[in-house]
Structure 1
Amino acid sequence: MKNLEIILVFVIYLIVMLGIGVHYYRKNENLSDYILGGRKLNSWVTALSSQASDMSGWLLMGLPGFAYLAGMEAMWIALGLAVGTYLNWKFVARKLRRYTEVAKDSITLPVYFENRFRDNSKILRIISAVFILIFFMIYTSSGLVAGGKLFGTVFGLDYTLALTIGALVIISYTFLGGFLAVCWTDFLQGLIMVLAIIIVPLAAIMNIGGTDAVMAGFNEISPEFVNPFTDLTGQPLALLAVISSLAWGLGYFGQPHILVRFMAISSEDKIPKARRIATTWVVISLAMAVLVGMVGAVAFQGQPLSDPESVFMVLIDGLFPSLIAGVLLAAVLAAIMSTVDSQMLVTASALTEDMYALVRKEASEKELLWVSRFSVILVALMAYAMALDINNKVLDLVSYAWAGFGATFGPLVLFSLFWKKTTKGGAIAGMLAGGLTVILWKNSSMFGVSGGIFDLYEIVPAFIIASIFIVLISLVEKPSDDMIEEYEQVSNN
C-alpha cells in the first residue's frame, strides 16, 4: 500500500513535468527559442533553475553519502561550492550576459568563443563541442545512475528497469519543450529540493531525541566526527585534501548548463536579485545536505547502510507517512531531472549548432530545431549505456565531469571577459590544455603514476595549466583592433 501511494505521487509529479514540456512545445519556433528561450527569464527562474541544474542528484545522494562517511570534512566541499556560486554570479553573470549579446547574439558558449575571438576556422567551436560531448556524457550518466538508485531503493526495482524509466521521462519533456520547459521544471524542482533538504534532517534529529542525543551520537561514531580539520582517526586533514575540496568552487566558471542561464536572463538589472536568491538557496541546501549525512550516520549507527549514497532516501522511508514520503522522494527525482535535462539540452545544442550547422549551412531553423530535439535522444542513449554499470558512484562521476568543464572552459571564460589581450591561439591552447590535463590526471594510474601530488583533485592542476597556456600564447599573438574595440564597448557600458 505504501509503495502504491508513493507511486501515485511520483506519477502526478511526472505528469506535471511532462505537461510543462507540452506547454512549451508550441512556443519553440526556432533554434534560439529551443536552446536559450529567447532571453526571457526572470530573476527567480534564472536563479533557481541554474542552481537546481547545478546541484543534481549528488546534492541529495553524493554529498550526504560523503558526510555519512567522513562527517564535518564534507563541509570543505560545501564551502568551496558556496563561494564559487557567489563569485560566479558576482563577476561572470552580468558581463557574460552583455558580451554574448554584443558578440553577434551568441546563443551557446562555443559560438560565443568563436565570435569573441573572430575564429573563422571554426576550430574553437569544434573543440568546445567535442569536450562538451565527452564530459556531459559522464555528467548525464551520473544523473541516470542516481535515478536508478532512487527507484531501486524506493520500489525495489531492478536497476536496469529503474534506469530506463527515469531516462524516458527526462527525454520526453526535454525533447518537447526545450530550454523554457527545462528552466520552468528546474524552478519547481529547485523549490521541492530545498523544502525536502530542510525537512528531512530536522525530522531525523527529532526522531533521534533532539540535538543533545545527536551530538552524543556524533561522539560515539568518533570524537572527531564534527571536526572539519581532522579525519575520523584524529589525524589532521592533508593540505591536498582541503585544497581539493575547496577547488570544487573553481568549477562554476566553466559549467555550460549554468552559464547559459546567465545568457538567458531578460535583463542585466535582474542579475543582483537572482544572485541573492541563488546564493541563499545554495548555502541552505549544501549545509543541510551535509547535516543529512551526519545525522544519518547516527540514525543508522547500529545497522550501517550498504550504500551511503542512499542515506537521504532511507531516512525518508523510515520517518514519514507514505504520501509525504512520496513528495520528499520526488525531491531526489527533481534533483536528478533538473540537471540531466539541462545537460542533454546543452549537449544537443553542441551537436546541432556547433557541428551539424557547420556541415549543413543551408539548414533551415525548423530543421535545426528538429535535429536538436533528436540530438537529445542520441545523447540520452549514450549516457544510458554508460550508466548501466550499477557500481558507478554518483559523486565520482560528477567530480570528473565538473573538473572537466571547470578546467576546459572556466579559465577561458574568465580571460575572455576580463583580459582584453586574450587571443584565438590562447583560447585554443587553453581549452586543449585544460581538458586534456583533467583526462590525463584523472587516469594517471593507467600510466603507473599515483599518490602524492596526483591525489590532488584534477581541476586544480588543469585550471592552472590552462591559464598559463592562455597567457603565454596570447602574449605571443596580438588581438585584432575590432576585438579590442568590442571588449572596451562591453567593459565601459
Structure 2
Amino acid sequence: MMVTTPLLVTFCIYIAAMLLIGFAAWRSTKNFDDFILGGRSLGSLVTALSAGASDMSGWLLMGLPGAIFIAGISESWIAIGLIIGAWINWKLIAGRLRVQTEYHGNALTLPDYFTHRFDDQSKLLRVISALIILVFFTIYCASGIVAGARLFESTFGMDYTTALWAGAAATIIYTFIGGFLAVSWTDTVQASLMIFALILTPIMVIIAVGGVESSLAVIRNIDPQHLNIFNNLSFITIISLLGWGLGYFGQPHILARFMAADSHHSMRNARRIGMTWMILCLMGAVAVGFFGIAYFADNPSHAAQVNANSERIFIELTQLLFNPWIAGVLLSAILAAVMSTLSCQLLVCSSALTEDFYNGFVRKSAGQREKVWVGRLMVLMVALIALALASNPENKVLGLVSYAWAGFGASFGPVVLLSVCWSGISRNGALAGMVIGTLTVIIWGYFGWFGLYEMIPGFLLATLAIILVSVVGKGPSLQVRERFQQANQAYLE
C-alpha cells in the first residue's frame, strides 16, 4: 500500500492531533499531582468519556466483534455483564472513592489510598498493591500493544514487529509528555471517535446485506443457533461471562478517573453520560460481529482474512464498505481504543513506581519536578517491558485482557468496594483480600477448574477473607473509623 493513500494520511492526521493535545497538556502540567491526577479537575463529560475510553480497549472493536462472529449472539453475555458491573461501579464506588481518597491523605494512587485508609504504618499494603498493579498492568499493556499491532499489520501490510512499534509509539510519546491531562483529554476525543465508528459501521453492514430481515435470514440459514443467546452455554459459562462485570470495582485505570473528578457531585451526570456511551458502543460492537456473519456469507471472496483471524472483522468491514477517507477515520477508532487504554495503564504503572516505590522508599525528599521526570522515565520502562511481552504474534487480545481483568477484579475489587462502604474493614483484612484474590486468580486460571472464569472464585474468596479477618482479628482504630465517617458524611451532603 502506497504511503500517499487516504488511509495513511488520515492516520497521520489523527496521531498528530493526539500529540498536539499531549503538548498542550504538558503546558498545563505544573507538578506531580497534575501529572498523575490532573489536579482533580475533570468535569462530568471528561470524567465519563475518559473512564469509558480507558475501559474499552482494542477488545471493544476487535476481541468482542470477533467472538460474536464465531459463536453468534451468545457471546454478548460478556457485554451484559459489563453493563451491569459498570453501572454498579458508578453508583456505589465513583463518588465515595472520590471523597474517601481526598480525606485519606489526598491519595493520588490506589496503593497510596490503601496505605492511608487503613493507617498501614508498615507500608506492606502499598508494596503489595503496587506489585499487583505492575504485574497485571504490564500484561494488560501488552494486550493493547497487540491490538495496535494487528491494526497496523492488517491495514498497511507491515510485518508484526514493525507494526508493534508503529502502534505503540504515539501513545508512549503523548503519555510521556502530558501525563494525566493528556490522557484524559485525548480519551474524550477517542471516545467520540469510537462511538461514531460503532454506530455507523453496523448500519452500513446491514444496508449492504439488504436490511435487518435479510441479514437475519442469511444468519439463520448458516446456523440458527447463532441467534440463540443460550447456544452451547452451560450455567457456569453464562455466570463466567456475566462475571466480567465484577472486574470494574478493581480496575486502577478506571478508578483513577473517579479520583480525578472535580467533585463527587459531578458523578451523577458522569454516570448518565458514561453508561449511555458504553451501552451504545457495546451494542455497536455486537452488531458488527453479528451482522458481519451475514455479510461475509454473502461475500465469501472477501472472507479469507476474517476466517483466518476473526478479530480483524471490524478492520475488514470498514475497508470493504467505506470510501478510503471514511475508512481511515473509522479505523482510527481502533487506534483510539488502543491508545486510550494503553496510555491510562502506562500512567497508572508509572504512578505506582514513582509515588509508591521511588518516593515511598528510595527518595522520600524528592521534589515535584524530580517526581514528574521519574514518572516519565517509568512510562518508558513499562512500555518497553510490555512491548517485549507483546512480541509473540500468536497473542490473542481477548485472552490477555481476560487474565489481567480478572487479576485486578479479584485482588482490588473487594477491597475497594468494602473500603468505601464499610468502616469495619481492617488493614489485615484488606491485606488478606488482596493476597487471596491474586493467588486464586493465578491458581484457578492455571488449572481451569469447572471451566469457571477465575475472576468469580477470586472475588468471592477475597471478599470472604476480608470480612472474616476484619471481624475476627483486630479491627480498625477509632481514628480510622472517624475519618471514614467524616468522608462518608461529606459524600452524603
The 5 A counterparts of 1:30-179 are: 30-179=31-180
1:246 equivalenced with 2:242 (yes/no): yes
The aligned counterpart of 1:462 is 458
What residue identity is the alignment partner of 2:51?
Answer: S
TM-fit CA distance, 1:463: 0.2
Cα pair 1:82 1:282 within 8 Å, conserved: yes
- Aligned positions of 1:298-377 closer than 5 A: 298-301=294-297, 302=300, 303=303, 305-358=307-360, 359-377=362-380
Match of 1:228 in 2: 229
d(CA) in 2 for partners of 1:352, 1:404: 22
Name the structure 1 match of 2:266. Answer: 270
Tell me if structure 1 keeps the 8 A contact 2:175–2:379.
Answer: yes
Aligned residue type for 1:324: I
Partner of 1:286: 282
> Deviation of residue 269 (structure 1)?
1.5
- In 1, Cα distance between equivalents of 2:111 and 2:381: 20
How far apart are 1:75 and its partner, in Å? 1.5
The question of whether the paired residues in 2 share the 8 Å contact of 1:46 and 1:262 is answered with yes
Runs of 4+ in 1 over 3 A off after TM superposition: none
Could you list the per-position Cα deviations for residues 20-74 of structure 1 after superposition, in whole angstroms to 9, with x for gaps in the alignment?
Answer: 1111112212111100000000111100010011010000000001100111112
1:439 Cα deviation from its structure 2 partner? 1.2
Counterpart Cα distance in 2 of 1:126 and 1:424: 13
Residue by residue over 1:56-113, the C-alpha shift from the partner in whole angstroms, topping out at 9 and shown as x without a partner, is 0000000001100111112210100011111111110110001000111111111000
Counterpart in the other structure of 1:208: 209
1:317-339 CA distances to partner (integer Å, 9 max, x unpaired)?
10001000000000000000000
Higher mean Cα deviation, 218-227 or 308-317? 218-227
Contact 2:191 2:336 in 1 (8 A): yes
Whole-angstrom distance in 2 between the partners of 1:197 and 1:215: 19
Distance in 2, matches of 1:212 and 1:491, equals 52
Asked whether the equivalents of residues 99 and 488 of structure 2 are also in contact (C-alpha less than 8 Å), the reply is no
- Which residue does the alignment assign to 1:6? 7
Query: Equivalents in 1 of 2:278, 2:74: separation in Å?
Result: 18
C-alpha distance in structure 2 between counterparts of 1:72 and 1:208, whole Å: 18
Cα deviation 1:339-360 (Å, max 9, x = unaligned): 0000000000000001111221
Partner in structure 2 of residue 428 of structure 1: 431
In structure 1, the gaps of 5 or more residues are: 232-236, 445-449
**Structure 1 counterpart of 2:119, one-letter code:** R
Q: Does 1:489 pair with 2:486?
A: yes
Partners of 2:92 and 2:132 in 1: CA distance: 24
Q: Is residue 426–residue 472 contact of structure 1 (8 Å, CA) maintained in 2?
A: yes
Residue 189 (str. 1) matches residue 190 (str. 2): yes
Counterpart Cα distance in 2 of 1:2 and 1:196: 24
1:2, distance to aligned residue in structure 2 (A): 7.6
Give the structure-2-normalised TM-score: 0.96
1:439 has 2:442 as partner: yes
CA RMSD of aligned residues (A): 1.0
Q: Read off the aligned partner of 1:168 and give its amino acid letter.
A: A
**Structure 1 counterpart of 2:488, which letter?**
S
Q: Verify: 1:389 aligned to 2:392, yes or no.
A: yes
Count residues with an aligned counterpart: 481
What CA deviation, in whole Å up to 9, does each residue of 1:190-238 have, x standing for no partner?
000000001001101101111121011110221111111123xxxxx20
Gaps of 5+ in 2: none
* Alignment partners' CA distance in 2, 1:95 and 1:212: 46
Mapped to 2, the partners of 1:414 and 1:211 lie a distance apart of 42
What is the alpha-carbon distance in structure 1 between the residues aligned to residue 99 and residue 354 of structure 2?
A: 24
Q: Match for residue 291 of structure 2?
A: 295
**Match for residue 402 of structure 2?**
399
Return the alpha-carbon distance in structure 2 between the equivalents of residues 368 and 491 of structure 1: 31
Match of 2:474 in 1: 477
> Does the 8 Å contact 1:2/1:322 carry over to 2?
no
Give, in angstroms, the shift of residue 479 of structure 1: 1.0
> Contact between 1:52 and 1:335, CA under 8 Å: does it hold in 2?
yes
| Distance of 1:364 and 1:198 partners within structure 2 | 47
Alpha-carbon separation, structure 1, partners of 2:128 and 2:194: 35
Structure 2 counterpart of 1:473, which letter?
A: V
AA paired with 1:280? T
| Kept in 1: contact 2:82–2:245 (CA 8 A) | yes
Equivalent-residue separation in structure 2 for 1:230 and 1:67 (angstroms)? 12
Q: 1:441: Cα distance to partner? A: 1.2
CA contact (8 A) 1:70 1:225 kept: yes
Q: Residues 111 and 129 of structure 2 are in contact (CA less than 8 Å); yes or no, is this contact kept in structure 1?
A: yes
The Cα shift of 1:492 comes to 2.3
Q: Which amino acid aligns with 2:256?
A: V
338-347 or 287-296: which moved more?
Answer: 287-296
User: Percent of aligned pairs with the same residue?
Assistant: 50
SS of 2:59's partner is: coil
Give the secondary-structure state (helix, strand or coil) at the position aligned to 1:60.
helix
Distance in 2, matches of 1:49 and 1:412, equals 23
How far apart in 2 are the matches of 1:478 and 1:5?
Answer: 63
State the one-letter code of the partner of 1:87.
Answer: I
1:431-488 alpha-carbon deviations (Å, 9 max, x no partner): 01111111111112xxxxx45x2x1000000001111111111111121000110111
Q: Distance in 2 between matches of 1:267 and 1:362?
A: 30
